[in-house]
Amino acid sequence: MNPVVAVIDIGSNSIKVLVATRREDGRIESLKAHTIDARISAGISQAVPRLSEDGMSRGLSAIQDLLALAVPFSPTTTVLVATSAVRDAANGPEFRERVLTATGHTIRILTGDEEADLIGRGLTCDPALAHLRDFYVFDLGGGSLECLAFRDRRIEQELSLKLGCVRMTEKFITDPHAPLVTKECTALALHVRDEFKRAGFRFNLGAAEAVFTGGTFTSVRVIKAALHQVKLEDTSALVSLETLTDLLDEVGPLTLEERKGIPGMPAARADVFPAALITVVTVADFGLFDRFHHSLYNLRWGLAASALA
């Protein structure tokens, strides 16, 4: 029997599990995948970020539920990792201790560079992207935006920017329950552009394609699927800039409750969805992209590939 790995990714906005094995042909095969929107990152934009008591409770409960989902597959290895929210929180060590006490598992805190590198490794597991040689990858989470550039399918640049959708909502959107305010949207977009300039990320691959991963793009495709009354997997993984800007124009004038009423809109993401779209559209404008490939193969897949190497 081939080894089985269970990977739990403790993100800022959601906590996910992937149970996987390596097939005889060398490809990673998913046996089980599930996501819980736990939002442990509330308050992440503060000068001294801290995980709230409620956030830690939700996080621990989600981790326990996801570990239970993995049990029937008898994983030979179980890996727990945390990203921006726990990495940046002053009380991140306290949360790690709670999880260790309750589950017996130690959380590995990934650096921004480690996170970006593993996302890149995960992307190379996606058979739909096998034709891409030179390309960019962006992974938008609740706390950070991971940015990578691949040349001949090897990582040439990797960068972690504090541009996650929860962080940007807290920083720029005064009232997430209300329709968007133009000056706040403009300030957010300007901040994204300034961060790219400050960090020195280079868009120097020529006419290269770009890939986006993360819950925002999954939500975009779920909304698109609901509109056409099909399943997510029946929608195109190519998402145009026009689709993104049209959706931003649609959600911008709506209140939070009205956003939640959009068919397919995940209720737990409706408050941060506008800021996420602004960030994505700004990346497209700054990098001169007119479309993105969406992939579900990101951090968890990279961790699984590493554990099963």
**pLDDT tens-digit series, residues 30-61:** 999 999 999 888 777 777 889 999 999 999 99
Last residue of a domain, one of 111, 126, 147: 111
CATH code for position 81: 3.30.420.40
Last residue of a domain, one of 93, 111, 129: 111
- Tell me: do 232 and 272 sit in the same domain: yes
- Tell me: do 81 and 203 sit in the same domain: no
3-state secondary structure of 115: helix
DSSP element (H, E) containing 277: helix 273-287
Instruction: Establish how many alpha carbons lie within 13 A of residue 226's alpha carbon, considering only the half-sphere containing its beta carbon.
Output: 12
306 domain residue, yes or no: no
Cα–Cα distances in angstroms (integers) from residue 297 to residues 15, 166, 280, 288, in the given order: 15, 22, 18, 24
Q: Residue 236 is encoded by which pair of tokens?
A: 């195109």
- Tell me: do 151 and 166 sit in the same domain: yes
- The dihedral over CA atoms of 220, 225, 226, 227, expressed in degrees to the nearest 10, equals 90
- Tell me: do 287 and 201 sit in the same domain: yes
Instruction: Give the residue from 15, 12, 107, 80 showing the smallest Cα distance to 51.
Output: 12
Q: In the chain, how many domains are there?
A: 2
Question: By residue range, what is the domain housing residue 20?
Answer: 4-111
- Tell me: do 258 and 168 sit in the same domain: yes
- Tell me: do 191 and 80 sit in the same domain: no
pTM to 2 decimal places: 0.92
Instruction: Give the residue from 252, 239, 250 showing the smallest Cα distance to 280.
Output: 239
**pLDDT tens-digit series, residues 108-153:** 999 988 998 999 999 999 999 999 999 999 999 998 999 999 999 9
